[in-house]
Each structure stands twice: as structure tokens, then as C-alpha cells.
Chains A and B, each alone.
Chain A
Amino acid sequence: MLEIEHLTVRYGRRTVLRDCSLRVGEGEWWMLVGPNGAGKSTLIRAAAGAVPCEGELRFEGEDLTRMKPARRARLIGILDQHNTSSYDYSVEEIVGLGRYAHRGMLGADPRGDEAVERAMRETGMTGLRRASVLSLSGGERQRAFLAQVLAQDPRLMILDEPVNHLDLPYQQAIFTLIADWLRKPGRAVLSVVHDLSLARCWGTHAMVLRGGECLARGRAAEALRDGILREAYGMDVGAWMRDQLDVWKE
């Protein structure tokens, strides 16, 4: 579905992403992992068309850099790490914005209401539909914006830290929801996560980045190996995580 070839992003003279390539196929959940400043969010921003880049970005052979924004939004839904609003829109209005790209010339969107209702139901936001987005907790706000992405009905979801601010029950609920969403044919997920356990448990594939370069990519079990993670993070990640788990053993 998504093909990224030799992607390079520069901010001024600084190269923040160098020669990265990635192919996301149907039914795959790719996890982008790496330390802070590795270029994970930059890769996502490039895929969203938010930063100028070199290399090739294609969706099923179609050049993403030349694609009209509305068409791109019907194919790719993106959830940012930080989502806020300066004005007190209701949750329903925020979720409804996800249907922007589906509206016709006269604003008609026959499946719009149904998609918004379903997205709010799936993210547990139906009860808060009238609430001002400014009055929500961080986790509720994240769920409202995830509902917006779901209402967008994309084929590829790109999620930057999707469970950021969420407590454990909601982390579980959201990852289960994304996994269920992925089961339908013709869909894929690309997400940035810091929690390597989540990456290993839920991801089918992973890409490890460090300093703007790709260290490894492939099936999650192969890409997230001890040696690669040690090189990426500069520490014995496996030992650290095993120590954390040991605390819970009787």
C-alpha cells in the first residue's frame, strides 16, 4: 500500500531523515521505534505532506506528493501526538471534521452521520459528544481525535503515539480497537510508539530508527532484537525491560 523510497528530509542544513525506505502492505501494523530525535515523527510528517522531502512517496503506485489533499485524506488518516484546540468545539464537531474529505461539492455526505456515530461509539466518546473539547482530560481528548481519524474512514492509519496520555484500560481498549479495525481487508497501520513492549506485542512489523537513519526493518520479532535495540538506544534495552518485569514476579 504505502511505499516510501529513499526518503530524505532536511530542516535547513540539518538532515533529520536520511535515505529511509519502507513498504507497508495490507493487514500490516508497522511500529516505528527509536530514541527521541530519531526521525520517527518527521517520517510521519513527510508522509502527511507537511514537510518538503526528497525521495518517493507512493500509495498503491500513486505519487503522494502530487495527490490532492482531499484524496490523500480519504486514503490516509493521521493522528498527531499533541491535539488541542483554541476554541470550545464539541466532541461531535471535532469528530465530524473527519468527514471533510468525503463531502461532495454541495457538502453532501450520505454516510457522514453514521461514520461519526460509529467512531464515537468505538472510542467510548458517545456520552461526551456535547462536551467542549477544552474541558476534556488529555486521554479523552486523544480519544476524540482518534475518533476523528476513524470517522475519516481511511485505508492507512498513521498514528503518532496513539496511547499518549491514556491510562492502561484505555491503552488496551485503543490497541484492541486498532487491531479490530485492521482486520478488515485493504487496511494497514503505521504507528510511532515509545513503549517497546507495546511495539512487540501489537506490531506485525517494525522499523528501528536512530539519528535519522534506519537501523533495521522487517517483522517485529526480527527488527526488535536485543542487538539492534542496544545500538539504537545506547543501552541494554532487553535487560532493562526484563528487570522491570521481574518486579511483578512473586
Chain B
Amino acid sequence: MFRERFAPVAYLLLTAALLAVMVLCVCAGNQPIPLRETRAVFFGGEVSEANRSILVNVRLPRVLCVALVGASLSLCGAAMQGLLRNPLADGSTLGVSSGASLGAVIALAFGIAVPGLPHAGTMVTAMLFAFGSLALILSLAWMLDRSLETNSIILIGVIFSMFASSMMNLVISFAGERIKSITFWTMGSLSGSRYDYALILAVSLLVCGGVILLHARELNAFAVGEENARHIGVNVRRVKLTLMIAVSVLIGVCVSVGGTIAFVGLVTPHMARLIVGPNHKRLLPASLFSGAIFLLLADLAARTILRPRELSIGVVTSLVGAVAFTLILRFRRKGADGDA
């Protein structure tokens, strides 16, 4: 009841926090921009041309991409944790993330490019590999038990991830001079963010995120148990397939834009669950906010801690995520002991 009453307040607080963090991330960086000038860019006023250029051409598209990637990864994590009834699941559990990474690494290593669109090669290849991976994983799971059992999908997903990682290492060993950019990319980076990337991310989140949000009731049923979901009338196979496709597309787009960013999809849904509870009607929207805020702060840390050097965002999310996850587990255990 506390959580139900708290939910509207929580959304207000999360919205305010997201806006505040976005403003902070736009202002802070290698070249700090005063809040006054940031406000002037949007609402008119005096601002130096250099700062305007940094803000409009670099900071703003980056902040938008980071927020959208964070929100998407977190939403996918929350959906997968519910769907697979596994608190350790996230968008990468299916193996699609590894597939997309393999595609991107191949594109980077062999210089695959789309004529006229110099940066689109990596993105398109990553997306194609994400779809191909999902098709392969679901086909293999279907061949295994003819019923798309969750355990079969997880098993095939884990095996496929290992296979994709091995293939990635093989490709990297032939990458020659491009190895540095590949390594940086595989650890996650949103430094080359652009408005068109943000648009692609926003459309993907709108469509796939919309599909996921519309399945909140079904996710509640799955989170209690797949058999229970079947008993209360959920079309288990159709819902599972729909959600997996939505998650895969979203993960594929995120990986193609920002590389593999670990821990966001795993940790932030747990943070949201601590605030609004496990009911997906409240959890999914809260995960969107918490994912965006978490990744924005991680990105801010990545580009400011060792200024002027920039860390990979994945390094920061892994370091912070591991500590945060341990604290969350400890908090939940204490809560459970308290309940008992």
C-alpha cells in the first residue's frame, strides 16, 4: 500500500531528478559551461559561440543518447527479469547483445560501411546480427523442446553468448590497427553520439518500449511463474515471443549505438523495485527513469574523472554496478529478514 501511494510521488521525484541530472550533464565536462549560458541556448540570451557549439553539437546529442540508452537497457532488464522470473537476467541474457556486438566488431574490423552514410555500417551490421542471433536462438530452443521453454532459451542464450565472444576474439585477433577502437567500443562508448542516433533510439524506445509497457500485467504473471501465467489465461508463447522480439530489437539498437554497456539492465531495475515494488505497472516506468539517471551519471563520471582522458562508460557502469548490486542484495536480504 505504501508503494502504491508512493508511486505518483516517486514518478515526480524521478522526473525532477532526471531533468536535474540532464542539466548537470549538459553543463559539466571538459569545458564546463555555466548554467546561465545553458539556459540562454534554449530560452535566448547571451552565450559564447564556442560554448553554444559544444552544447548543441556535442553535449546535447550525447546526453539524449545516453538517457535513451540507459532507459532502454533498464526497461529491457526489468522486462527480462520478470519474463524469465530471474533477478539475474537482463537484456543480454538472451544472447542478442553478444550477437549485436559480434556484428559491430566485424563491421569495425573489416571496415564495413554503408555508401553515403559513413557511420551507419556498424549500426546496421549490429542490428542485422541482433535479429539473426534472436532467430537462431529461438530456432535452436524450438528444436530442443518444441515449446520454447524458458530454461531452454536461457541455456541456448548463454551458449550463444560464449560462442559470439569467442568469434569476437577471433575477429579482433585479425583486426590489426583497428584493435584500439574495437576494444574501446566493446567496453561501451557514447562519445560519438549524434541527433540522428538519438532519433533512432527514441523511435525504437517508443515502439518496443510501448510494446513492453503494454505487457505489464502479463509480466506480473510471468514473474510469479510461467505455469501460473498459463493457468490464469496468459497466452504464454505469444507473449513470450512478442516481448523477446521487442527486447532484442531495443538491445540491438542500443548496442549498435553505444557498444556493450554492462550492469545497467541488471542493476537499475532492482533500484526501481526498491522504490516502487515488483508490480510491473509501476516498475517498468520507474526503470525507464532510473536507467536514464544511472547511465547519465556514469557517463558524466566517465568523461570527467580523469579529465581530459575519457573512460569507457562500461568501465564505470561495471565498477559502480557491482558495488550497487551487492548493496541492493544486502538491503533486500535485510528487508526479507525483517519481514520474516
Contact = CB atoms under 8 A, between A and B. Distances in A.
Interface in A190-217: none
A49 B147 contact: no
B328 to A, nearest CB: 13
Nearest to A133: B224
Nearest to B1: A130
Contacts of A93: 220, 279
B204 to A, nearest CB: 26
Interface residues of A, number: 38
B221 interface: yes
B224 to A, nearest CB: 5
A148 B227 contact: no
Interface stretch (A31-39, A64-72, A176-184, A221-229): A64-72
Given A52-B146, A89-B278, A148 B220 contact: no
Interface stretch (B13-21, B49-57, B155-163, B228-236): B228-236
Interface in B1-35: 1
Contacts of A78: 231
A68 B279 contact: no
A86 B231 contact: no
Contact of A100 (B87, B225, B232, B273): B232
Nearest to A148: B232
A24 interface: no
B224 A97 contact: yes
Interface of A: 48-50, 52, 68-74, 77-78, 80, 83-89, 93-94, 97-98, 100-101, 103, 107, 130-132, 134-135, 145, 148-149, 152
Interface of B: 1, 82, 85-87, 146-147, 217, 220-221, 223-225, 227-228, 230-236, 273, 277-279, 336, 339-340
29 contacts: A48-B227, A48-B231, A50-B227, A50-B230, A69-B230, A69-B233, A70-B235, A71-B233, A73-B233, A83-B228, A85-B223, A86-B87, A87-B273, A87-B278, A89-B224, A89-B278, A89-B279, A93-B220, A97-B220, A97-B221, A97-B224, A97-B232, A100-B217, A100-B221, A131-B339, A132-B339, A134-B336, A148-B232, A152-B232
